[in-house]
Each structure stands twice: as C-alpha cells, then as structure tokens.
C-alpha cells in the first residue's frame, strides 16, 4: 500500500485529495465497475422486454426508467475516471441529464400510480380467466341445448355466413335434402339447395340471395326442391338476415318446410268438398249464411235452385222471407231467426215454401249462430227439400193407418212356439186369430205340429223358416228379425211376404225351447224402403237413374268393356236455353217438357243403351258396347226425333239440344274422365251456336288448360310490366274538340305479343282477377290525371267498373284511397257501369254509386240498350250519362231500326237530364245522323283510336 501512496500521485495531476486514501482505491474502482456493468445491463434487459412484448403496460415509463439507470451507470463510470482525469464538466452534464431523466421518470411514475394501483393482481387475473372459461363452458352448453332444440323443430333450419357458406344445419334440414352435416358444412348453400318453380317459364326467386344482398326478409316462397338423388318435393323457402352490431348483414337463417303432406291434404280436402257438394245435391240440401255486420245473405247454388232462382242469385232478407207464406209459417221463421240473432238459439223448422216459379215445396230450415268471442257475427244454416220425403212418409202413414184400422186389435200374430231340440219336433200351442190371413193356417192346424205351416211354404223357403226358428234361440231378447217367405196358394199362385219376428226365448227342463212373441207382416214397410231407394238412386221427375247411379253404372261398364276389349260411348245431351221455358211458362210446364224430352230419347235408343238424368235439363246416354257406326247412327236418330216438337201441357216446344260425345278407350281411360270429356264436348257444341253435336277431341282439354294458363299469366302480369293503360278520346260532335277519354286496358305478353281484351277480360271476370285489375286501372288513371296539367275544361277519363267490384263493401273507401294516393281530382274521373250490374244486387250497387257521386266522381251507364234497363231503372239509378252501345250506332241513318233506337235512347236521357255519348262512330254519315238527333258527344275510330299512354305499374 505504501507503493500506491508513493506511485499514484503521479496519475493524479491535480494532486493529493485531502480525503484521499490510496489504500481504498481498488475498492472504489471495483465497486464502480460492478455498478456500471449492472446499470448498463438492466436498461438493456428492460428495452429488450419492451421490444419483444408489445403488450407491456406503461412501456414509455419502462423506457424512461431504463434511460435513467443507463445515465446512472455513465455517472459511476465518470466518477471512476475523474480519479485520474478531472472531467468535472462532462460529469456535471451527465449528472444534469440524469437528474432531468430521473425527475421526469418520477413525475410519470406518480401520475401513473393510480392506474398502476388499479391493475388487477395475479389472483384477480386468475379469477377473470376462470370466469371466462366458465362463460365458454356455458356458451358451449347453451349452443348444445340450442342444437338439441333446433333438431326437434319440424322445419329445416340452416345458418349461412355473408358469403353463403353453411355454418349449421339442423336435423330436419339435412333429412329434407337427404344429406349429413359433414357433407354440407362450409359449402355454398346453392350447392346443396337446388330450387326451381312449377312454372318452367318463370325463374325462381331466391330469398336467401335477397336476404344476403339487401338485408330484406321475403314472404315464404313456394318452390320445388331437388335432392341430390334427383327426388323433388314442394316446399316453402324463407330467409331472414342476421346483422352485426353496426347493422351490416352477417349472414342469414334459411327456413325450409316440406309441403308434400300439406298439398296432399289440400287435395283430399278438395275431393271431400266435391263429394259434399254432390251429396248435398243428391240429398237436396242447400247452404246459406247471413253476415250480421254487413247485412248480407248468401245462398249456395242448390239453395238458389230450391227457391226457383238461377245459381248465383243472392237475395235480401225480405225477398228470402217472402218465399214463405204469410201468417204462421213466415212469423214462425221470423221469430226463430230473431231469437237466433238476439239469444244465440239455433232452430230447426219444417215449413212450406213458395218457389219463384209459383210451385210449392216442403222444406226443413236450420240455423245456428257463429260467434266472434261472445258476439254473434254470422248465422249459418241449411235448407233441405223434403217434399218427396214427406209425401212418401204421408203415403206410408196412410197405408199404416189403413192397416191399423183393419187390424186395430191385432197388429200382428201373437204366437208361442215350442221346440224339442233333441228330436227337432216343433209345434205352436198358441197362434193369434189373424194367422190365417198372414200364414194361411189356423192355431188348430199347428197346435201339435208345424208341418201344415211348412206345407204352405214353397219347398225352397222351408229351410229359411226353420233357420229363423233356430236363430231365435241365440238372438238377444226382443231383437226383430226380418225374413222373406213365399207362400203357395191353393190355386197354385205364389204369395211373397216379408215377415218380422220379435220374440223372447226360454229353455225349460228336458231341452224344451219356448219362444213367445209377435209375427208381423212388414211387406208394406219393405216396399216403402224400396221407394226410398228409388228416391235415392232415381230421378223423381223422369224416373231415370240419377247421377249417383250413372257414375256407378258407367264405372262397371268401363270395367266390363276393358276386359272384353270393347268400346263404351257416352252422349251428353243438354237442352239449349231451357231456362226460357221455365221463366216463360213456369216450372210445371218445364217439368212436362223434360219428361217428354226423356221419353223421346228413350224411344229411339237401342235396348243395350242406358239413360240417366244428372240434373236440370241434362241427360246422359251410355251405349255399351258401342259398335262401329252405332254411335253416329244413334245421334242421327236422336236428331231426327228431336226435330219434332215435344208437348208440355197445352204447349208444344221445338227443343234445341246440344250433344257431346266421347268414347272409351279412344278418348278417355276411365269412367270419370269419359263423363268429363263428354261434358267438355257438349260445352263446345254450345259455344258453336248450340243445337249441334260435338265429338270430344284433345284440343278441348287443351283449350281448358289454356284458360288456366292464361289465368296464371294474367296473375303474373298484374305484378309485372305487361299491362298498359290506353285512352280513346271522346269528342264534341259540334267542333270535334276533345271532351274526355275512356280508359282501356291492353296486355302485351312477352311471348305471345298483344292479347285481345275479349280473351282475357271474360276470364278475369270468371276468376275474380277483375278486382285487382280494376284497382290497378284506377291507380293508373289517377296517376295520369295528376301528371297531366293542360287538360280541357270538363275533361274526364271514364273507367269501366265490374259488378264484382261494385259489390265489394269497401269499394268506395278504396276509390277514395286511390284518389288520395294519386292526387287526382275526383272531378276528372268517371265510372262506367253496365246495366247488368243493377240486376245482380240493385240496392247495394245503387247505394255504392250514390256515395261515389258524393265524392265528386260522375257515373255513366255503359253499353246502354244491351241489358235490362227500363224507365223504372233510369228513374232510380244515380247516373249522369248514358253511353249508347256501338251496335245501335252502326249503319245509321240507313239502318232505320238502329236510328229509331238511338232517337229513343236520346229522348229518354234528355227526359232524365242525362248526357249522351255515342260509341263506335266510324263514319261521317253516322256522325251527321247523331248531330241531327241532338247527340253532342261521340267516341270511335272516326275521331281517334286507342293509344297507349303508360304501364299500369308506372
């Protein structure tokens, strides 16, 4: 150490320090070196941690603290260096930097102290991890339960992501498509779910794509699904979008429901309704209902016929009650109907009925209320024609009363029969006094043995009588037994009787069986049952088989000729305009004419033919077997015979008869289609003018299918772009200026081009599509009026309105909604109504038109002169204008009849203060004649043809 003391001063140019101890120099140098090494390694480790772990909390503080430690290390190094070199300036700067960094670090540490204290501890982090794991377990369990629930759902459920890839499919979905989850997971839904529509011309709408692309939910879409194995089934397909928290589509849920069983159930239900309708027609049971809120009475077609009205007739209550005689019957029905409305009491009455044709029937009327909660909203009922039944019952009662008067004290033959079972010997120790009249033997003759009774029975029926005696031994007491016996009379004649035995049996000692009871002659009752069977299977008017027996006979005939490789021909005969006879001369004369018609046909048909009346004025003739040329020859004989007038009462009628013919197996393969095709043929004969013969051809079925196809295309067009609004101007005859226009609908089919209104308007009327079509027309006209601002003063657009539309209770409200929605002025709109509209439900339609005019909309009678209008009608109808039909304008002034009709119509209109428009004006001569009459408005090709102005959907 003395060496250090003597030598080191040479390394210290600044000289000896007062406190300098050379013996401690190595200690200071070693300690400073270790401290400096630690100070340098610690910040390097902290920096390495921050760079490698991006999730370190408070990383800036870490780096600042590392800089502080690094500067501390530099300070220690400089402290050691200053032992030899006086680097006080550098050491001061380093210390200053160290002080700044340490102060900044201290401030940052204290500012971060609340956050550091709030950091979770290791124990808390472990609890959070445990909770998260428990939540995952709960989620997995919930997902498993949800999977179990979805697997129990009957509908197929599938979850797809926003790209359409399948994430999940329940058991029903996989079963419907005949696959498993492993095959579908991750695949695009279109690879698994192949859909099409029943209409090959219409591409299927994909609700899944719509949900994924636009985020919308469509109504269930009826599609055809094809399984991977090629099987197809009808289904309902619906897709519901799934959204993220920000509202963007994250996928969709597909719901798939198999409609196979539902469609089959609908088919069964349709067949049930058809059978019910036929049964009601055979049983003469009609249905009716009364809507309490709407005050509307509805009749089924059978009810209309029963009251003597044409099918479709819908009367008011007063008219309906007016068919029942004044006094007791009508008051009884009114009282029962009132109790039903007020107290909900159902009723079942039997009353006399006066038909529209003046006939009298006996009917059974039933009614019961239908409730909406506790409030009655409708009365449902039935009416049955029991005239023939009551007549048969009255005849039966008369016969029974006559029999009771004859045998008042002995309604039957009381008897006591003994039979020894071991020997078979039988005798009648007691037999009533009327036995000779019923059995032909007296009690004395059979007291010891029933042999004399058996001798009175024809040999083949003796076993029947003995069997009855044996059966009585095991029969329940008092149970009647009917049996038929033929008795041999003394003169050799055979008397057939139906007898009924009612007896109780007793077994005595020694095997003796004793029967005590009554033996009654029930022949009359059996005959009455035969009469009732006649009513069930035969037409009461003509005595011919009815439809029920015809269908059975025709099915048997087809089965026979199928085995024999022969032919069956069906001729369907329908009297043209037979309603005119009933309306003009009454149903009594009409019935006589039908009987004469049936007799005339029966007179010329061959012996092997079979004739039936299936209702109204329709007869069906079945020819089996139908040899070559026989059917044509029969038709010619029928035509020749029917050319002669038939006599009905004091009247003679030349019947015009349409005949439709069809053959098995050439035209049809079963009895049902054979009758159907013959019906189609007679329909064709009527379309060709009537009083002719039409042979079935496949085109008739195709025409029917075409009508169905046209209906479907029109339904599609109503939701598409094919329908157009066309306007035909109405002009002032004085100066040819435009006064208004008539709105017409035109249909441009993408494949068939322009379709004639004469083709699709009647079909729309028949199918009910006229209502949505009419509403679309009103909207289109309203939009046109609202968009056109330079119209002449008083300009109106007239729109044809169907009677079906006017009969809707909400028609006026819908019209008002159209005007409000389109912004059209009511003064610019006019409704055209045909005369036939007022014949259907006059009071309801007049009320509707009154309210229409109250809106400011005018009303015109279209095609005036072609319907049933009269002075009485014109006096009551709320109309502003008459439009004379084009058929009366054509050819004037040369056609003097038409000229007279137009003058008369104009005079009527002027009398009632109505404007007149002449339709179908095509020549200047017609226009001049109209001007001379005084008509001021006209419409026709002379002035303008219809022009398309917009689509109905625009």
Q: What is the pLDDT of residue 866?
A: 59
Q: What number of other Cβ atoms are within 10 A of residue 52's Cβ?
A: 8
Q: What is the pLDDT of residue 741?
A: 94
What confidence tier does 466 reach under pLDDT thresholds 50, 70, 90?
Answer: low
Q: What is the pLDDT of residue 96?
A: 79
More confident residue, 280 or 191: 191
What confidence tier does 408 reach under pLDDT thresholds 50, 70, 90?
Answer: very low
Q: What is the pLDDT of residue 403?
A: 47
Q: What is the pLDDT of residue 195?
A: 81
Mean pLDDT of 919-929: 93
Residue 35 has pLDDT above 60, yes or no: yes
CB 370 within 8 A of CB 376: yes
Q: What is the pLDDT of residue 842?
A: 65
More confident residue, 317 or 457: 317
Residue 524 has pLDDT above 80, yes or no: no
Q: What is the pLDDT of residue 597?
A: 92
More confident residue, 744 or 123: 744
CB 779 within 8 A of CB 821: yes
Q: What percent of the chain has pLDDT over 70?
A: 82
Buried b (16+ CB within 10 A) or exposed e, 471-500: ebeebeeeeeeebebebbeeeeeeeebbbb
Domains and CATH numbers, the chain: 2-118 (no CATH), 153-258 (3.30.450.20), 286-385 (3.30.450.20), 405-528 (3.30.450.20), 539-696 (3.30.70.270), 728-744+765-951 (3.20.20.450)
Residue 83 has pLDDT above 70, yes or no: no
Rounded distance between C-alpha atoms, residue 680 and residue 661, angstroms: 9
Residue 1 has pLDDT above 60, yes or no: no
Residue 840 has pLDDT above 80, yes or no: no
Say if residue 352 is exposed, middle or buried (CB neighbours under 10 Å; 0-12, 13-18, 19+): middle
What confidence tier does 482 reach under pLDDT thresholds 50, 70, 90?
Answer: low
What confidence tier does 287 reach under pLDDT thresholds 50, 70, 90?
Answer: confident
Residue 55 has pLDDT above 60, yes or no: yes
What confidence tier does 412 reach under pLDDT thresholds 50, 70, 90?
Answer: confident
What confidence tier does 728 reach under pLDDT thresholds 50, 70, 90?
Answer: very high
Q: What is the pLDDT of residue 98?
A: 75
Residue 101 has pLDDT above 80, yes or no: no
- At 346-388, the pLDDT tens digits run 899 989 999 998 889 899 999 999 888 888 888 988 888 888 8
Q: What is the CA radius of gyration of the chain?
A: 51
Q: What percent helix, strand, coil does the chain show, rounded to 5? A: 50, 25, 25
Q: What is the pLDDT of residue 278?
A: 64
Q: How far is CA 770 from the centre of its chain?
A: 18
- Cis ω on the peptide bond leading into residue 224 (within 30° of 0)? no
Strands 156-161 and 249-258: antiparallel
Q: What percent of the chain has pLDDT over 90?
A: 20
Q: What is the pLDDT of residue 859?
A: 93
Q: What is the pLDDT of residue 502?
A: 67
**Residue whose entry in the numeric block shows the structure tokens 């015109």:** 860
Q: What number of other Cβ atoms are within 10 A of residue 559's Cβ?
A: 13
Residue 28 has pLDDT above 90, yes or no: no
Closest CA to 659 of 571, 582, 724: 571
The overall average pLDDT reported for the chain is 81
Query: 496 - beta bridge partners?
Result: 486
Residue 732 has pLDDT above 90, yes or no: yes
Q: What is the pLDDT of residue 384?
A: 87
Residue 818 has pLDDT above 50, yes or no: yes
Q: What is the pLDDT of residue 469?
A: 60
Highest mean pLDDT among 66-80, 113-127, 287-301: 287-301
What confidence tier does 57 reach under pLDDT thresholds 50, 70, 90?
Answer: low
Q: What is the pLDDT of residue 868?
A: 46
Buried b (16+ CB within 10 A) or exposed e, 577-586: ebeebbeebb
What confidence tier does 581 reach under pLDDT thresholds 50, 70, 90?
Answer: confident
What confidence tier does 177 reach under pLDDT thresholds 50, 70, 90?
Answer: confident
Mean pLDDT of 202-229: 77
Would you state the torsion angle of the CA atoms of residues 475, 479, 482, 483, taken in this order, to the nearest 10 degrees? 20
More confident residue, 126 or 725: 725
Helix (H, G, I), strand (E, B) or coil at 943: coil
More confident residue, 498 or 886: 886
Residue 613 has pLDDT above 90, yes or no: yes
Q: What is the pLDDT of residue 739?
A: 92
Q: What number of other Cβ atoms are within 10 A of residue 441's Cβ?
A: 19
Q: What is the pLDDT of residue 675?
A: 92
Query: 641 - beta bridge partners?
Result: none
Q: What is the pLDDT of residue 730?
A: 94
Closest CA to 221 of 184, 260, 254: 254
More confident residue, 133 or 385: 385
Q: Which helix (H) or strand (E) holds 370?
A: strand 360-372
What confidence tier does 185 reach under pLDDT thresholds 50, 70, 90?
Answer: confident
Q: φ, ψ for residue 235 (rounded to 5)?
A: -155, 160
Q: Which of the residue ranges 118-132, 614-628, 780-794, 850-864 would you say has the lowest mean pLDDT?
A: 118-132
Highest mean pLDDT among 72-81, 421-430, 633-642: 633-642
What confidence tier does 16 reach under pLDDT thresholds 50, 70, 90?
Answer: very low
More confident residue, 453 or 543: 543
What confidence tier does 490 reach under pLDDT thresholds 50, 70, 90?
Answer: low
Angle, to 10 degrees, between the axis of helix 260-283 and the axis of helix 547-564?
120
Mean pLDDT of 764-780: 86
Q: What is the pLDDT of residue 80?
A: 67
Rounded distance between C-alpha atoms, residue 911 and residue 82, angstroms: 137
Secondary structure of 106-162 in HEC code, one letter for each residue:
HHHHHHHHHHHHHCCCHHHHHHHHHHHHHHHHHHHHHHHHHHHHHHHCCCEEEEEEC
Mean pLDDT of 52-73: 70
Rounded distance between C-alpha atoms, residue 546 and residue 690, angstroms: 24
Q: What is the pLDDT of residue 407?
A: 45
Rounded distance between C-alpha atoms, residue 906 and residue 900, angstroms: 10
Say if residue 186 is exposed, middle or buried (CB neighbours under 10 Å; 0-12, 13-18, 19+): exposed
More confident residue, 132 or 821: 821
CB 155 within 8 A of CB 171: no
**Residue whose entry in the numeric block shows the structure tokens 């001063």:** 9
Number of H helices, E strands in the chain: 35, 33
Q: Which of the residue ranges 27-41, 833-847, 863-877, 891-905 would you say has the lowest mean pLDDT?
A: 863-877
Q: What is the pLDDT of residue 869?
A: 47
Rounded distance between C-alpha atoms, residue 602 and residue 612, angstroms: 10
Residue 404 has pLDDT above 60, yes or no: no
What confidence tier does 292 reach under pLDDT thresholds 50, 70, 90?
Answer: confident
Rounded distance between C-alpha atoms, residue 858 and residue 860, angstroms: 7
Residue 534 has pLDDT above 80, yes or no: no
Q: What is the pLDDT of residue 471?
A: 59
Helix (H, G, I), strand (E, B) or coil at 788: coil
Q: What is the pLDDT of residue 428?
A: 82
Rounded distance between C-alpha atoms, residue 147 and residue 678, angstroms: 58
- At 138-158, the pLDDT tens digits run 767 777 777 777 777 778 888
Q: What is the pLDDT of residue 845?
A: 81
């Amino acid at each position: 150490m003395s060496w250090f003391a003597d030598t080191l001063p040479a390394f210290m140019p600044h000289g000896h320090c007062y406190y300098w101890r050379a013996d401690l120099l190595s200690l200071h140098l070693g300690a400073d070196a270790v401290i400096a090494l630690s100070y340098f390694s610690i910040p390097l480790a902290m920096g390495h941690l921050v760079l490698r772990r991006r999730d370190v909390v408070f990383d800036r503080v870490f780096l600042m603290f590392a800089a502080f430690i690094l500067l501390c290390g530099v300070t220690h190094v400089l402290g050691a260096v200053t032992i030899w070199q006086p680097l006080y300036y550098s050491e001061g700067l380093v210390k200053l930097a160290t002080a700044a960094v340490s102060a900044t670090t201290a401030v940052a540490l204290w500012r971060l102290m609340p956050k550091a204290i709030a950091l979770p501890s290791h124990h808390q982090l472990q609890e959070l991890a445990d909770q998260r794991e428990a939540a995952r377990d709960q989620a997995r369990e919930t997902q498993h339960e949800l999977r179990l629930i979805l697997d129990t759902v009957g509908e197929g459920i599938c979850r797809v992501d926003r790209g359409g890839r399948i994430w999940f499919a329940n058991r029903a979905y996989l079963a419907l498509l005949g696959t498993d989850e492993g095959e579908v997971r991750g695949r695009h839904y279109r690879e698994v779910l192949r859909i099409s529509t029943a209409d090959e011309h219409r591409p299927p709408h994909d609700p899944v794509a719509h949900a994924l692309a636009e985020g919308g939910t469509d109504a269930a879409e009826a599609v055809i699904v094809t399984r991977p194995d090629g099987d197809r089934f009808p289904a309902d397909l619906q897709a519901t979008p799934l959204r993220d928290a920000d509202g963007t589509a994250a996928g969709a849920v597909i719901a798939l429901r198999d409609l196979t069983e539902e469609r089959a159930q609908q088919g069964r239900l349709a067949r049930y309704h058809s059978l019910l309708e036929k049964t009601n027609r055979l049983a003469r049971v009609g249905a009716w209902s009364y809507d309490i809120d709407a005050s509307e009475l509805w009749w089924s077609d059978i009810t209309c016929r029963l009251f003597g009205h044409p099918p479709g007739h819908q009367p008011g209550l007063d008219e309906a009650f007016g068919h029942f005689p004044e006094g007791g019957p009508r008051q009884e029905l009114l009282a029962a109907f009132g109790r039903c409305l007020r107290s909900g009491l159902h009723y079942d009455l039997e009353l006399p009925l006066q038909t529209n044709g003046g006939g009298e029937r006996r009917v059974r009327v039933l009614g019961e209320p239908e409730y909406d909660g506790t409030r009655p909203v409708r009365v449902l009922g039935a009416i049955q024609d029991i005239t023939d039944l009551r007549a048969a019952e009255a005849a039966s009662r008369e016969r029974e009363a006559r029999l009771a008067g004859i045998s008042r004290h002995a309604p039957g033959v009381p008897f006591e029969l003994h039979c020894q079972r071991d020997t078979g010997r039988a005798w009648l120790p007691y037999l009533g006094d009327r036995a000779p009249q019923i059995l032909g033997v007296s009690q004395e003759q059979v007291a010891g043995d029933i042999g004399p009774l058996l001798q009175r029975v024809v040999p083949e029926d003796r076993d029947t009588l003995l069997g009855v005696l044996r059966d009585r031994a095991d029969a329940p007491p008092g149970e009647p037994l009917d049996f038929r016996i033929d008795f041999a009379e003394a003169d050799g004649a055979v008397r057939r009787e139906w007898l009924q035995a009612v007896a109780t049996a007793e077994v005595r000692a020694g095997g003796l069986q004793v029967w005590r009871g009554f033996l009654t002659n029930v022949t009359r009752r059996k005959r009455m049952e035969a009469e009732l069977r006649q009513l069930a299977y035969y037409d009461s008017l003509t005595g011919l088989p009815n439809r029920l027996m015809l269908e059975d006979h025709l099915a048997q005939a087809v089965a026979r000729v199928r085995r024999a490789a022969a032919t069956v021909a069906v001729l369907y005969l329908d009297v043209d305009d037979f309603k005119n006879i009933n309306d003009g001369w009454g149903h009594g004369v009409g019935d006589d004419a039908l009987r004469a018609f049936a007799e005339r046909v029966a007179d010329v048909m061959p012996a092997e033919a079979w004739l039936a009346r299936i209702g109204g004025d329709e007869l069906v003739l079945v020819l089996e077997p139908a040899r070559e040329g026989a059917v044509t020859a029969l038709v010619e004989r029928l035509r020749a015979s029917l050319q002669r007038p038939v006599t009905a009462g004091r009247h003679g009628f030349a019947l015009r008869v349409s005949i439709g013919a069809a053959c098995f197996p050439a035209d049809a393969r079963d009895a049902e289609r054979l009758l159907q095709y013959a019906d189609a043929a007679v329909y064709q004969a009527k379309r060709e003018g009537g009083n002719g013969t039409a042979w079935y051809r496949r085109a008739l079925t195709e025409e029917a299918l075409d009508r169905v196809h046209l209906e479907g295309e029109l339904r599609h067009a109503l939701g598409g772009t094919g329908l157009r609004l066309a306007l035909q101007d109405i002009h002032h005859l004085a100066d040819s200026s435009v006064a208004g226009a008539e709105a017409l609908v035109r249909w441009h089919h993408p494949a068939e081009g322009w379709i004639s209104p004469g083709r699709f308007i009647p079909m729309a009327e028949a199918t009910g599509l006229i209502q949505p079509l009419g509403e679309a027309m009103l909207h289109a006209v309203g939009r046109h009026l609202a968009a056109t601002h330079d119209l002449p003063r008083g300009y109106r657009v007239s729109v044809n309105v169907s009677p079906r539309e006017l009969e809707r209770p909400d028609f006026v409200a819908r019209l008002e909604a159209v005007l409000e929605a389109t912004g059209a002025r009511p003064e610019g709109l006019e409704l055209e109504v045909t005369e036939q509209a007022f014949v259907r439900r006059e009071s309801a339609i007049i009320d509707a038109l009154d309210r229409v005019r109250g809106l400011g909309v005018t009303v015109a009678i279209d095609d005036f002169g072609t319907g049933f209008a009269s002075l009485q009608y014109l006096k009551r109808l709320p109309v502003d204008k008459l439009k004379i039909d084009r058929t009366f304008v054509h050819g004037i002034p040369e056609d003097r009849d038409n000229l007279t009709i137009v003058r008369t119509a104009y005079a009527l209109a002027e009398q009632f203060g109505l404007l007149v428009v002449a339709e179908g004006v095509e020549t200047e001569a017609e226009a001049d004649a109209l001007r001379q009459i005084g008509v001021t408005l006209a419409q026709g090709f002379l002035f303008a043809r219809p022009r398309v102005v917009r689509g109905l959907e625009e």
